Amino acid sequence: MSEVEVWLREFLAEFRKQHERLSEEEKSRISNLDDFAAPCQMLLLRFKDINFQNLVVTHDRGRNDAEITVCGPIPTYEAVDALDSILKDPKWDRELSEKEKSRYPLLADKTISFREVVEPTFLHMIHEIKNSPFVRPGPTVIGTKSWITIESFFWDIRGNMADLDPLKIVNEIMEGARKRTEAAKAETKPPSLPPAEPGIKGSGTHFYPPIWVGKLPKRTFKQKALDVPVFPERAFDTKYKEKAVMVYEDGLIALDEQDKLKATRMLNEIMATGLLLDLSFFAARELDVSEVEIDISTLIIRSFSGGMASLRMPQIYEVPFRGTTVSVDRREVEKEKLVRLMKEAERISQDPEIGDFLVLLLEAYTCLHSSEYMQSFMMSWVIIERHMFWLWEKFLREENITRTRREKLMNPAYWNVDSVLETLNLLGRLSPDDYSVLMAFKNKRNAVMHEGEKVIQNEADRCFQNAKRIVQQRSAIP
């Protein structure tokens, strides 16, 4: 019997002896992370040439009490194979009880084995092995204690467990139970705290493709070697259409608009304006827009929840610049450019039609870069067609055409886009070159709608560029 197995048996015997002396109330106050009452099984895993051990404790009623297994020392280069072999032991096959599954509410209606919940503990051990060369040696201590299920747990031990005093550890567990019992008896109801100030319910997303506001922080060699993260701070606050807006360095933008449809529209007006200022972004769909809660006094985001299907999710869950193989590439954007972008977006979207054009243009751009050429072409064409009718109405008003005649001449049932293009060209309001290009787009649109003709990349791009030029002109952005 190894030294550490002797230690575990002495520890268990002392625990059971002192446990019997406790009252029922005191027994109930022993932490689930310190409970070695019957039935109890212990698995100690030791690894060669590194300074930690792991103790896995279960309370499996289908196995013998006081079952103690010591594995190792396992060479680190064999750790994965050894842990994999241990995981394949049939003793881990049993299904979790309803009580054990209470720690995993999402699994309440599923059948799950104990192996599936103990596996993350074994993966944690592999992570510890990888980090062990960088851990400074120190005295033997029991470090982190963690639940596996409500009836099983594991201890991280730094050093050799056999160097610890088992009596001292048991005494500390029992003393803790007694103190908690006394505290419960003496407990008085604390005065009610004032209700927390409600936060602002809002919406948010990330600029995409990803950006960093200002200069990308550069980590030192030591920070990279130790995997020290860099956390984004708030870059600036502003207002957009009377709504508070917060922009963070990692491109997170949140505003105090709870209605997701309205928030998505406003966010896309902002993103679309970037297309006119050489700051190209993709459209944010509803699944990309998350619920946020904003602190009223500090304007700090308290909580942020996003849809898992969103392209922007890697930005939400990435700890920026961790140096992992899945790091998010970012482009630097000056804060002043984003501030200007929002001011311009608010100015030009005051005209509802230009606001519509912005959103359509952004969708056309997003589809173009997603190889959805037909969708991109059609959205660009909507901008062009509506603009042609705007030019036609502008001419009719300048000529003081009566309202009745104007309404007839603006009705597509009588005066369609083909007629509008012909007339604008004859009036000199549409150049021969523009007339030829737009007629070709119109014919292509009809072929797509009525004959199912496909749109190729070049056609979608040319249509988009024409739509962009229209929005640029109508927005008066140089």
**pLDDT tens digits for the chain (478 residues)?**
789 999 999 999 999 999 999 999 999 999 999 999 999 999 999 998 888 899 999 999 999 999 999 998 999 999 999 999 999 999 999 988 888 777 666 666 778 888 988 998 999 899 889 888 888 888 999 999 998 988 899 999 998 999 999 999 999 999 999 999 998 887 666 666 666 566 778 899 999 999 999 998 887 777 777 777 777 888 999 999 999 899 999 899 999 899 999 999 999 999 999 999 999 999 999 888 988 887 767 767 777 776 555 666 666 555 554 443 335 678 999 999 999 999 999 999 999 999 999 999 999 999 999 999 999 999 999 999 999 999 999 999 999 999 999 888 988 888 899 999 999 999 999 999 999 999 999 999 999 999 999 999 999 999 999 999 999 999 998 7
Residue whose pair of structure tokens reads 């103690």 in the numeric block: 68
Look at residue 226 and tell me if it is in a domain: yes
Domain-ending residue, one of 350, 376, 391: 350
Look at residue 228 and tell me if it is in a domain: yes
- On whether the CB atoms of residues 76 and 50 are closer than 8 A, the answer is yes
Look at residue 192 and tell me if it is in a domain: no
| Tokens at 450, concatenated | 């009525």
Look at residue 190 and tell me if it is in a domain: no
Look at residue 335 and tell me if it is in a domain: yes
Q: Note the pLDDT of residue 322.
A: 40
**Containing structural domain, residue 381:** 351-478
What stretches of 190-290 show up as alpha helix (H) in DSSP? 221-225, 260-276
Within this chain, do residues 344 and 371 fall inside the same structural domain, yes or no? no
C-alpha to C-alpha distance for 317 and 327, rounded to whole angstroms: 11
What stretches of 22-97 show up as alpha helix (H) in DSSP? 24-28, 79-87
Per the structure, the count of domains in the chain is: 3
Residue whose pair of structure tokens reads 């999402």 in the numeric block: 106
Q: Which residues are paired to 56 by β-bridges?
A: 43, 154
CA trace torsion 127, 133, 137, 139 (10° rounding): 20
- On whether the CB atoms of residues 51 and 132 are closer than 8 A, the answer is yes
Look at residue 378 and tell me if it is in a domain: yes
HSE, side-chain direction, 13 A CA sphere, residue 369? 11
How does DSSP classify residue 296? T
C-alpha to C-alpha distance for 48 and 82, rounded to whole angstroms: 12
Q: Note the pLDDT of residue 415.
A: 86
pTM above threshold 0.95:
no
Within this chain, do residues 313 and 444 fall inside the same structural domain, yes or no? no
Of 256, 247, 185, 181, whose CA–CA distance to 212 is shortest? 247
Q: Note the pLDDT of residue 413.
A: 81
Within this chain, do residues 229 and 317 fall inside the same structural domain, yes or no? yes
Q: Note the pLDDT of residue 184.
A: 83
Within this chain, do residues 20 and 127 fall inside the same structural domain, yes or no? yes
Sign of the dihedral through C-alpha 300, 305, 310, 316: positive
Per DSSP, the three-state class of 139 is coil
Within this chain, do residues 22 and 152 fall inside the same structural domain, yes or no? yes
Within this chain, do residues 180 and 48 fall inside the same structural domain, yes or no? yes
Look at residue 379 and tell me if it is in a domain: yes
Q: Which residues are paired to 240 by β-bridges?
A: 243
Within this chain, do residues 27 and 153 fall inside the same structural domain, yes or no? yes
Within this chain, do residues 149 and 213 fall inside the same structural domain, yes or no? no
Q: Give one DSSP letter per residue of 299-330, joined into a string.
A: --EEEEE--TT-TTHHHHH--TT---TTPPP-
CATH number at residue 478: 1.20.120
| Tokens at 36, concatenated | 């070695």
Within this chain, do residues 138 and 210 fall inside the same structural domain, yes or no? no
Domain-ending residue, one of 288, 318, 350: 350
Q: Note the pLDDT of residue 2.
A: 87
Domain-ending residue, one of 333, 350, 367: 350
Look at residue 191 and tell me if it is in a domain: no
Within this chain, do residues 323 and 432 fall inside the same structural domain, yes or no? no
Q: Using CB atoms within 10 A of its CB, is residue 66 exposed (0-12), middle (13-18) or buried (19+)? A: middle
Within this chain, do residues 289 and 299 fall inside the same structural domain, yes or no? yes
Within this chain, do residues 290 and 364 fall inside the same structural domain, yes or no? no
